[in-house]
């Protein structure tokens, strides 16, 4: 127990020391105008270099990731059915699927699934 605590404290100290050293050694000037300006073959850019990001595509990507994780959580439920108590397995699965359906209804209600706008 004592050796575990010593190892934990040592790891925390080494991590903090490395982060502090990184902060002091990697000072960068953020006010350099030439580095922050866009480079386009030596000429001034003809259009805005920063295209506005569509928040709708970001929300679609986040919703896709959420549903992808939900599927990854649902897939192992079938093999575990054989090894567990069927009543407890059914209650857990039904509760999990109900939470997913409530989340889907909330997304639908908030307009997160209307992509035609």
User: Residue 89: inside a domain, yes or no?
Assistant: yes
Assess if residue 33 is contained within a domain.
no
The pLDDT tens digits of the residues spanning 34-88 come to: 666 666 666 666 666 666 777 778 878 888 888 888 889 888 888 888 888 999 9
> Stretch 13-22: mean pLDDT, rounded?
93
Question: Are both 23 and 65 inside the same structural domain?
Answer: no
> How many CB atoms neighbour CB 44 within 10 A?
7
80 contacts 88 by C-beta, under 8 angstroms: no
Q: How far lies 76's CA from each of 1, 16, 70, 83, 89, in Å?
A: 35, 39, 11, 12, 12
**Mean pLDDT for all residues in the chain:** 82
CA angle at residue 74 from 88 to 83, to 5 degrees?
40
50 part of a folded domain: no
- The yes-or-no verdict on residue 14 having pLDDT over 90 is yes
Give the total number of structural domains in the chain.
Answer: 2
* Residues of the domain holding 10: 2-28
Q: For residue 97, what are the contacts with CB-CB under 8 A and spacing of at least 6?
A: 74
């Amino acid at each position: 127990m004592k050796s575990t605590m010593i190892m934990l404290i040592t790891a925390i100290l080494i991590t903090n020391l490395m982060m502090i050293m990184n902060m002091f050694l990697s000072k960068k000037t953020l006010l350099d105008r030439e580095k922050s300006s866009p480079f386009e073959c030596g000429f001034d850019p003809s259009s805005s270099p920063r295209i506005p990001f569509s928040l709708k595509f970001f929300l679609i990507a986040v919703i896709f990731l959420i549903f992808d994780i939900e599927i990854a959580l649902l897939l192992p439920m079938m093999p575990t059915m054989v090894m567990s108590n069927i009543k407890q397995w059914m209650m857990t699965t039904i509760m999990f699927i109900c939470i997913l359906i409530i989340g889907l209804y909330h997304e639908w209600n908030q307009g997160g699934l209307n992509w035609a706008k």
